[in-house]
Amino acid sequence: MATMAVVGNEMERMQARAPRQRRTASVAERNSDLYQAQRRLRRGPTPEMFFAKHIDNSRLVKADDPVRRREMRIFTTAMTLFFALTMIYVWQHLSSIEVGYKVEAQKQQVELLREKNRQLELQDAQLSDPNRLDRLAKQLGLDTPAPGQVILPVNAGKNDAVLAQAQAPVIRAN
């Protein structure tokens, strides 16, 4: 206590001796001036000593606070729900992007198949051209059939199915 009184008296004397500083002086400058004044008033070259007091709190038990526990449960539940909803949103968004890519790939595949179909139809039209078939037949030595060479099935309509028969076909004259 005595040292506190002595230090308190010295501080009062320093403040009384120190001229009033402008209010515009910064806090750092004022603190620096006060520190320099304290160093001049010290007795001798002895340094200041500080002692650390170690406090052992290992035997203390934290009191249970039910209000705080309830607040933490509500907060944890809210954050879990928020996180789950955010993850569902992100999952849906990424799924929609993936589906968009699949749709585009299917559109490209449909276009490729349409182009291939068009090429095949064109090739079919070229191969089944009657003029081409006549030329090929003449190159192979085939000629137009004479009357009586064409054999028609007995009960064949335009769209009727024709079954194989073991009997000899009937020849008709046109």
The DSSP H or E segment spanning 94 is helix 66-127
Tally Cβ neighbours within 10 Å of residue 109: 10
What pLDDT shows up at residue 51? 80
What pLDDT shows up at residue 67? 94
Q: Is the pLDDT of residue 6 over 90?
A: no
Mean pLDDT of the chain: 81
What pLDDT shows up at residue 55? 87
Over range 35-61, report the average pLDDT: 78
What pLDDT shows up at residue 88? 98
Dihedrals φ, ψ of 76, to 5°? Answer: -65, -40
Dist CA 10 CA 14 (whole Å):
6
- What is the three-state SS of 116-171? HHHHHHHHHHHHCCHHHHHHHHHHCCCCCCCCCCCCCCCCCCCCCCCCCCCCCCCC
pLDDT band at 103 (very low <50, low <70, confident <90, very high): very high
Q: Is the pLDDT of residue 163 over 50?
A: yes
Task: Give the largest CA-CA distance in the chain.
Answer: 149
Q: Is the pLDDT of residue 23 over 80?
A: no
Q: Is the pLDDT of residue 60 over 70?
A: yes
What pLDDT shows up at residue 1? 47
| pTM, rounded to two decimals | 0.40
What pLDDT shows up at residue 117? 97
Dist CA 134 CA 144 (whole Å):
9
Over range 108-121, report the average pLDDT: 97
Q: Is the pLDDT of residue 22 over 60?
A: no
